[in-house]
Every structure is written in structure tokens, then in C-alpha cells.
Structure 1
Amino acid sequence: MRTFFTRMQYRHKLAAIILLFTLLPVIVLSTIYMYKSWKEQTEELLNTNRNQLRTGVEELNKLQATVTSNLQLVQQSTVVQSALSTNLYQDLSGFYTLNLYLRDMIQALENGNKSIKLYASKDLSYQGMYFSSDTLLSSELKSAVVSSESPLLIIKENDGLYFYGKINSWSEELAIVEYKVPYTVLSDSFSFNLPRGSIIHYVDHANVSHLIKENQPKSLDPAVLSSDDYYVIEMPLRWEKERIRMLIPSAAILSQLKADLFLSIGAVAGLALILILSVHFIAYQMTRRLYQLVVSMNMDVESIIQNPDEQLGRWQDEFSRIHRKFYSLAQSIRNHYERESQLEGQKKSLELQLLQERINPHFLYNTLSSLRWAFPDERLKQIIFSMVKYYRIALSRGHDRILISQELDMIREYLSLQRFAYDKDFDYDIRFTDDLLQLYIMKHLLQPAVENAFLHGIKSMKGKGGKIEVVGVRSNEKIIILVMDNGTGMEPEQLQAILEDQDDVASSGGYGIKNVRQRIQLVHGKDYGIQLESEMNVGTILTITIPVMER
């Protein structure tokens, strides 16, 4: 999971984080809301069924009151008690008369399918619709009725409710009254429409359930009473411990709430979809500048410079500032490479020039060596010897670095030649500490400086007294070399011309001061170079700074 997240684009990571902190709370809150709404609607439906069941229970309570009242009327009838106390009913005529009386009274008390019947204790010669002998009743039932102070309720499966009461005289038990209430009467008390699969049971004092009404035929499983598949509603009746129980399937409640549930889920899904699209759009807008920056980073430098982002100056956000910095960096890189290319070209040009100047003196060096032995003049021999030694050091077998001591020898020979060439009497003093003589220096680095001191200082002086000093000292990891003369000095314009190598005289003896500066900076960097100071009729000081090179 972590690897997958690290491989995701930043835009997708941002969208995922925003969704985590927006969509998740929406889903949680929506789930809580739907759950509470589900509970409330379920409770509302259950309350509706509870109220309907309560109405049916009230009808049953009224029925029980009616049954009790009718039993009392029969039990307290003096005509019935008188007839049961005499032997009149053994006479056919008398029995017929009593039966007609009872018929009228009982029919007046009966309602619907309910029926009343008397079971006499005395033997009867005749039996009718409303009279029978108590021998038809079980002894357990007779004992229970006789011992009960109130009407006794007996439930017969698939038949109905039977209420029993006794009729007594002051001296003996006369009969038992039976009042039957069929299940159809009980069912009519619950006339409302049951939810699909629902069941209503009559639960007696022994906790035995008897089916009263159902929407679909179902066999009652005792385990269903505690099952989560049903909602159970119970209400007590007025007599003894009897109660009515209603079982409503959870599926029935769900079917009634299904439309609202789907509507809520659809609303949450629609909200989630809108939220996802909004987050994706926001993440895209937030990371668009970053994406453009990444695209620019994948381009080459020239393409970045030639096709700048049009939005660089429009936006002021963090990404735009990074983009501008990146654009500036690309420009700096291009400028750096351009400078490097220019410096490389200059370096090659200097190297070519140096190679040419190595080749040209080679022929001269060999020729001078031959002339030296051809002429006996000692002065001429000395001049030729100085030139041979100068060019021998100048060639140095093609090395571009020589010992400082060799460079100083070459300067001495150069100054000797200048004395002879211009017939100029001047002094020179070369002073370097011993620790510098065995260090290395770029070849021909000091010769142009000494040449500049002679041509622009000593040569122009009238008479004697000219002097050139070359002094070298070490300062930590740097070597500082001073080339000084007490010549005529230079005007500021002439000084600037020499630094830029524009003066014909400055270029006649070597590379020129400008080339010296360029060589130093090409090889050693911009921390090193030259400084030139001059004052008219006072002299000139040229300061050269190079690093310490042991090879």
C-alpha cells in the first residue's frame, strides 16, 4: 500500500487526501443519518401496528367483559335456578317449556357465533340444544370450575375460547354454564391489514401460543420469538395472565422502507460523485502550475529559454515563483555554457598561437646556434648565446609549465637582448625567495610583463638611471609577483589601451598584458589575475597573482 501511494502522482495524492477528509466524514454522517432515519421510520411503522393491535386488544377486553356479564345473568337467573332445583325437567312438557324459556334468554345473550350451554348436575331424561348432562364434561374440568371463584377460561386449539361458570343453590350444585367464543370472533377484533408475513397469537397463562390471525399461513416456530427476523409486539389482556402477541417480519418493514432507503442511498451516492468530481477539479487546478513546471524541467535548456511560460508574470503563487527561479536558473546555465564555449575558443586560439610561436623560434634557435660558432666576435657570441638560451627555455620541449627559476633566467636573457638591441643602459634587479624558485609557473607569463615595463617605461627615458625590478613573494597559497619600473609612466588612456591589448607597441614583444590576464583566468579562475598601476614621470607597477603550483 505504501509503495502504491509513493508511486502516485502528486495530483492524485492531493485528491486522495482531500477525499479522505471530506468524503469519509460525509459517508459517516450520512450513514448515521440514514441509520437514525431508518430507526425512526421503523419505530413509526411499529407504532402504527402497535396502535392497531391496541385497538384489537381493547375489543377483546370488551368481549371479556360481555362474556362475564352474560355468565352472571345466566348464573343469577331465578327461573333457571328454580328449574334446575326441581324435577320439572323430567317431565317432557315441563322440560319443553323450560327449554323454550332458556332459548329465548340465551339467544338474547348470544352475539354472532358465540353460544351458551348448560350442563346439569342431575340426570336428565331429555337433552336439548341448551341442556346437557355434566357427565359430558371431564371430572378435572368440573373440579376446576367448582373450585374457581371467577369464570374459568379454557382454550381449545382450532376451536376457540371457552368460559365456564357454576350455578349453585343454597344447598347444592345445580349446573355448569359454558360460554364459547370462536376464533373467528377473536380474529374479527383485529380487522386491520397485517404486514406481509405477520402473525397474531393469543398467549395463555401457560405461555402457550394460539394462532388468531396471519397474513400468510405459517407454522409457529418457538425460536421465532427471539429471532432477529421478527419485531415482537405484546399487550396484556384483563383476565389472568393472558396476552396478545404480534410478530412482524423485518423483511416486511424493509419492504415498506425500501423506497426511502434507496432514495437516501442514491442521494449519498450522488453527493459522493459530485464531491469526487469537485475534488478532482480542485486538485487539478492546484497542481496545474506544478505540472507545467515538471513539463518545463523535462525540456532542454534552449527550449525553456525560447518558449517561456506565458503565465510567468501573471501569477504570484509559490509555483510561479519556483517556475521563475527555474527559468532564471536555465538562463544562467545557458549563459554559463556560452561563456565556457567562448573561453574554450579563446583557449584553443591561444594554444594555437603558442604552438605557432614554438615552431617559429625552433628554426631561429638552430640558426643562431650555427652563427654563434661561425663568428669569432665575443660580444656577438654573447648576444647569440643569450638568444639561444632564451629560446631554449621558451621551447622547453613543449611543456606549458616551467620552474620559476627557468622563467627568471628567460627574463634575464630577454633584458640582456634588449640592452643590445636598443643600446640602452639600464639596471634590473630580480628578487625571489628561495622557496619559490622550485615551484612552477605558466611559461611566458612574466616575459610580457617585463617587456611592458621596458617598452613603456625604460625605453622612453632619456639618459641613464632606468631600472626594472621583478620581486616575488609567497602569501599562503598564492604567489604575488611585482614588476616595477621607474620609467616615464603612462596616461590613463594608454594604461587602459594596454590592459585591452590595443597598443601596437604592447603587442610587439609577446602575447600582451591582456593575453596574460586571460591565460591566468582561463587556467586558474577569476580569483587570480593582474593589476596595473602607473603614474606619469614616476613609473609603473604590474602585480601578478597566481596560485602555488608544485607541478
Structure 2
Amino acid sequence: MMEKTSKYGGNYMTSFLSRSPIRIKLLIYFVPILVSSVVLTGLFSYLSAVKQLEKNAYYLLNDTVEQTGTFLEDKFLTIFEQLVLIENNNSFRNILGNTSQAVDQQRYDDIINLQKQFEESYQNHFQMIDSIFVTFNNGRSFNLQKDFVPRHVGINLKEWIAYYARSGNTTGYYWLNQHVDHVFETVETRRVVSLFKIIGNPQSEVNGVALINMRESYILNILRNVKVSPNGVLALISPDGVMYSKPLAGEYAISDSIIHNIQQSAEAQGSLQEYSTDNKPMMIRYTTLSLNQWKLAAIVPESDILSNASQIKSITFSIVLLILVVFSVVATLFASSLTNPIRFLSKQVKSVIQGNLNVSFRLKEQNEIGVLANGLESLVDSVQQLLQKVKDEQEHKRQIELLALQSQIQPHFLYNTMGSIKHLIDLGEKEKASTMVSALTHFFRIGISKGREVISIQEELEHVRNYLLIQNIRYSKDFEFEIEVEESILHLPIMKLTLQPIVENAIYHGIKNKAGRGIIRITGARQGDVALLQVFDDGAGMDGERLQQITDSIQSPTVKGVPVTFGLRNVHLRLALQFGCSYGLELESQEGEYTIVKVSIPYTSRGTHDHV
């Protein structure tokens, strides 16, 4: 039974290979060997690179923590030295011991000298120092602050000395991590890092406190300028709190017990492998600042340390894939010479299906494939001839519709203009009527334009300028007009009598329905591949329903009853017929405020006659 299965299986494989293209055979023979070789090589390369990457990351993390710790300790030492200078100042000692304070001159000199010491320390290190405060049990206190006006300055000296005396600190120097400043109370809460010296003890006859506040922002900037990893942070850990360079993301937050263990560690340097509150593996590297025994710790998710491993994996995978692709291409080249003619015909047929008839099916083949190619070539030629005939008929129809639409606009305009001139004559305004007739002459000279139906924007603007001059004479108290069009579009072609119907609507339906004097502004500019002309009026405007009604009437391909706005609809249809349906008119309006009619035409660097 096993022998039959093997026999039939072998026959099936042989039959399959005999029917398969050479390209498939090459892949079946060589791809498994290639894949196994490349995958094994890539796997060993990846594992080796990840191991070295992890080693380098730990080394860099340790180096970063050590260097940052050294830098921070240098800054803390600078502040410590300033506190020692104040403490050892003779005037400080005189005031503390009440020595020679009965003499006014000596007392004043001590105050001035102490303030000079404050000023010198602040000026030399103003970026770090926030404020300085000194107080004695003889009731005298001194302070310096530059950036704020405190509401209250001072401490309860007895409570301070009693509280910190219990800490067992024999040096008398104390460091406080970031905290709200209660020595200098201000309207806005301020956070500082403090160093102070307690002089004496609760039983001493003479005691006091000397304090320097450091700017929290200065220390934070040092920590933030060190980039340990995308999600990692630096933490400055002290017995009284922790200062993070930035908040740890929720999934990488660590518990207070881990922070406590780091702070309590007797080792000056060390590393910890811990887990976040969301059970994410974390790498912690810390060092100790010898000056105040604070710990500086870098807390980094292990996923950040090994983040580049995914890039190595991607690169390795890409190389493997590239080799496979190259090999596949080489293997398929042997079969391509046989399949190229059929693939070529298939490609050209797909182009025809997608609507591209400018393709060729010519082949050098003289066999059956050549006959098929010649037949397809003849078929496409016949289709192209038929489509060209339909296109010519449509173009002829478009020209007839264009002429019909223009013949509808000109009588409409002439009727309104002659009515205006008659009205002026009836009023006895002969000089204005003469000026209007002159403007009308220029208007019709451009309007006739030697029979051309497409003129330049410059000519169209001159045309509408004469129209506005005529109307402005008649309605001189009703409106003003401005024309501002970029020179770069003046050469562009536009349908004659495009702007005049729009301006007419602006006057009769906008300005005349508004109380007071109005303005009509014509502007034009290039916007990419489109030239945009805009006719603005600050007349009555229209509500949203009316605006939508007019827009629908303008853009409707057929007239249903009487159009809402005959002139604008004709202008829009003429532009669409001449330049295409993506061009024409667009309206924008706000009731009681304004109306804008936008005219869009294609931008071209060629002249007007290209579109006539």
C-alpha cells in the first residue's frame, strides 16, 4: 500500500513539473536551499548583533549616569562652597556672636559686608541660586531674592534646630530635595532644592541657620538634557524625596519600595533588574553623589535598550528578502523570452479596458500570436475612428449651444444699460448722460471685439470697468468700486461678458437692497493651476436657503421652469462649455453682510488665441 502511494505521489509530482513553466521549476529546485542558507546566516548575524547591542547599551547607560552624577556633584559643590563662604564671613560671625554690635558703625559695616557677600554669591551663580537666607537667635535675619516679592520671609528657628538636631547629623549641613519653599512665601507656589547649615544646637547660647535655595528648574534642566532612552528617566533620589527628569509613563512606573531600596543601598554604584507596576522589565543603573550621599539613577525599560534590535531584525529580514527577490528575478529571466509576447498583449488589452486606446499591438512574431496582435490592432483602430466621429459631433453641438447662450445675454445687458441712460436723460443729467454714452461706446467696442467670443481678462476688466462707470454715474451715492487683479493673469482667455452679469447682480440685488453706501470690489489672482476672479459686494447678502437655491439653479444641467438667476446661470454654462465642467461660478454669502461670486478658469502661460 505504501509503495502504491509513493508511486502515485511520484507520478503526480512528475506530471506537475512537466506542466509547470520553467520559472516555477527553478523556484522549486533552488528556493529551499537559498532560503535555508540565508535564514540561518541572518539568524546568527541577528543574535550576535543583539548581544553586542545590549552590551554597548549597558556601557553607555553606565557612562551617562557617571558623567551626569559628576556634573551634578560639581554644581552642588559650588553651592556648598558659597554657603561656606557666607558662614566664614567675618561680618556673619560678628552678627552671630553679637560682637561689636553695640557700635552703630560696626553694626552697619557688618550688615553691608554680609549683603555684599550675598550679592557676590548670587551674581556669580544666579543661574543656580534662587535665594539666600540667614537668621540668628538674637532676632536678626538677612535675605536676598531677585526674581520675586515674598509675602513673608522667615522660619521658626527653635523648631528648625530642634527638628534637625534629632537626625544625628554631626556636620550641621543639610540637603533638601525639591520641595515647596516655605522660607520665602510667595503668591505663586515655588519649588526649590535647599542646602542649609545649622549653627549650634537647641542648648547653645548662640545659634542660627544659613540657607541657600537652588532653582528647581536648573537641576531639572540638567536631568532633562540627558537623554537616556525614549521612555527612560533620570531620578535624583534623597532621603526626603525624588526628583524625576520627567514623569514615567504609566506602564513603566516603579514602586516606592524600589526607590527606597536604591536610596538605602550601601553600594556607591550598582545595577538592578526590576519590574514596573505593569510588570515591564526595567534596567536601573545608579551612582552616589559623595557630597550629600544622594543617588542618581537611570531608570530605563529594557525594551528601550533593545529597541534597535527590531531594526536589526528588519534589516536582516530585508536582506534575506532582497536576495530571494534577486534570485527569483534571475530565475524567471530564462522563461521570460517565451512569455513576453503574451504578457505584452495582455498588458495592452488591460490598458484598452481602462479606456486608453493609444496603444499598439504590433509584434515581430509571425505565428499565431502575430495574427492575434494584428487583429487587436485593427479592432482598436476601428474603435478610435468611431469615437472621433462622436467627439466631432459633440463639439459641433457645443459650439451651437455656446452661440445660443451668448445671444441670450447680450440683449439682456443692452436692455438694462439703455434703461439707465434714458433715466439720466429724463432727469436732465446731460453731462452724466454724455459720459455714460462715451463709456457705453467703449463698452460695446470691447463687447463687439471683432466677433471674438473669447477675449483676455485684461479686455474683460476694461469692459466691466466701463459698465461700472456707467452704473456709478447713475448710482453715485449708492456704491463705489475697486478693481485689483494680478498682472500675471491678465493675458488669460475668458468668455466675453463673464463679469458684467455678475456685477449687475451685485448692484441690483446686493447694493440697492442695502441702506447706505456700498462697495463692489473685483480681485483676481493665480491659485496653482487655476486663475480665480472674485466679485465682492457688501450689500444685502442672502440666507443659506436662498444661496443654495441659486447655486442649484446655476449648476443644474437643465432648466426646470424659470431659472432663479438667468444671467449667472448663462455665465456659468458658458464657462463650463468653454473650459470644462470643473470651472465656472461659485457663490458665497452672508445675509446682511456680503456676497462673493468666484469665477474659476484654467491658468495657462499661453495667450488668448489658444482657447478661441
Instruction: Indicate the TM-score class for this superposition, using the shorter chain for normalisation.
Output: 0.3 to 0.5
TM-score, normalization by structure 1: 0.40
Larger Rg over CA atoms: 1
TM-score, normalization by structure 2: 0.37
